[in-house]
Amino acid sequence: MAEGVFKHLAAQAGRGAEFHVESAGLGGWHVGEAPDVRAQKTARQHGITLTSTAQKFNAKDFARFDWVLALDTDIEDGLRRLAPTPAEAMKVRLLREFDPQANGDLDVPDPYYSDAHAFEQAYAMIERSCANFLGALRDKT
């Protein structure tokens, strides 16, 4: 959802062409698959179509990105361990660092084993975080 939400917000702001955004996991369990149908439904309810397919993030991907955003601390730790250099490890941040309602809880709970309400809660966290991240990028340019 985070990839789709960020792309949607960037496009709405007239900045879609400024960014190359991809999402990926650390494991290869769902490589090549479309997003979870519940994530797709949640996104559609907010006017967003998720078009990506699952892929696995690997060490060489660090060279392609300025930012590598993780949705929870376990993923953040895994990404930092995967980084080939300390400088590339510094690219890793938690998405909810940009959520004004995080209150110190920087994980987006994985809704995979939950219900539709959990997907909506995750969407809300992602949307707030992406909106503020986009604003932070605007302020840096």
60-77: pLDDT as tens digits: 999 999 999 999 999 999
Does position 138 have pLDDT exceeding 80, yes or no?
yes
CATH of the domain at 59: 3.40.50.2300
pLDDT tens-digit map of 3-22: 999 999 999 999 999 999 99
Does position 29 have pLDDT exceeding 90, yes or no?
no
Q: Is residue 55 part of a domain?
A: yes
Q: Is residue 139 part of a domain?
A: no
Q: Confidence band (pLDDT; 50, 70, 90) for 140?
A: low
Q: Is residue 140 part of a domain?
A: no
The confidence score (pLDDT) of residue 6 equals 98
Residue 52: CB atoms within 10 A of its CB come to: 15
Does position 25 have pLDDT exceeding 60, yes or no?
yes
CA-CA distances (angstroms) from residue 55 to 24, 27, 134, 135?
5, 8, 23, 27
The confidence score (pLDDT) of residue 84 equals 98
Using a 10 angstrom Cβ sphere, with 0-12 exposed, 13-18 middle and 19 or more buried, the burial of residue 121 is middle
Does position 141 have pLDDT exceeding 80, yes or no?
no
Q: Is residue 80 part of a domain?
A: yes
Mean pLDDT throughout 99-116?
A: 95
**Domain residues for 72?**
2-134
Give the count of domains, the chain.
1
**What tokens appear for 92 in the block?**
């890793």
pLDDT tens-digit map of 41-65: 999 999 999 999 999 999 999 999 9
Share of the chain above pLDDT 90, in %: 96
Q: Is residue 141 part of a domain?
A: no
Q: Is residue 129 part of a domain?
A: yes
Q: Shortest CA distance to 24 belongs to which of 102, 79, 101, 100?
A: 79
